[in-house]
Amino acid sequence: MTFGARLHHAMTTRGRLCVGIDPHSSLLREWGLDDSVAGLERFARTAVEAIAPEVSVIKPQSAFFERFGSRGVAVLERVIADARAAGALVLLDVKRGDIGSTSQAYADAYLDPSSPLASDAITASPYLGFASLDPMIDTARRHDAGVFVLALTSNPEGPEVQHARGQDLTVAGTVLAHLADRNADATPLGDFGAVVGATIGATDERLDFNGPILAPGYGAQGGTTADLRRIFGAAARNVLPSSSRAVLSAGPETRALRDAARRANDAVAALGEA
């Protein structure tokens, strides 16, 4: 199955929620853990054990593992394997963007099944030009994986780039148009998605591009189900709301984490009816 087909099936059968595994030092302390490799492993693997069987997508933030060097990356490898074994798709949040052979090397690291970091999909940055992502997109096609491209992010610095206008489209609009082209004729859902923040307020951009939309900022960062309906309209059926702290703060008890994930998943279920 293509990534888009797998994701569509997962959202239909497991719910629409994506849970970010973001081992902030502050969250480790909240759980009574040291900010160390041992604390990282206890946190991340407990979260995955509790949450991955309940939701469609787990999204580890690579940076919070990389900060511990090779030992942290080894934990990330185990987290990816454990989450996939539990039936969740893994969207690795790496936001890579480069050109040529370097872009290909990133693609091989994260999307080739022979890699210990192989995931179902990754996040990517298009700001060296959308075609700079072609090695990642081509590799994703070859291995039935996905790529989520930054389009309209919630950070306050984003609009100076994303809202800049060319002759016909904004930069964000250009990214979305490229995604629509890459997803043309895909059923039931394209493999190539956009990252659009759940707290952007409003947009006139075309968000119904036949691909999935990762919407970070849902939950603790202020995004609500009403915001998702208002921002995405008819495209809400393709939205994957992403929450991290709102779920992870329920830990460290496994049952509390599981219950928090279930509640959040139930809250966004109606988006599939849009």
Length of the chain: 274
Contact 218, 228 (CB under 8 A): yes
Annotated catalytic residue: which of 45, 78, 95, 163? Answer: 95
Contact 119, 92 (CB under 8 A): yes
CA dihedral (65, 70, 71, 75) positive or negative: positive
Q: How many helices (H) and strands (E) does the chain have?
A: 12, 8
3-state SS class at 60? strand
Token representation of residue 44:
């991340």
- Please give the Cα distance from 65 to 39 (Å, whole number): 11
The question of whether 59 is a catalytic residue gets the answer no
Closest CA to 218 of 182, 263, 256, 184: 263
Q: Tell me 253's DSSP state.
A: S
SS3 143: coil
Catalytic amino acids? 95
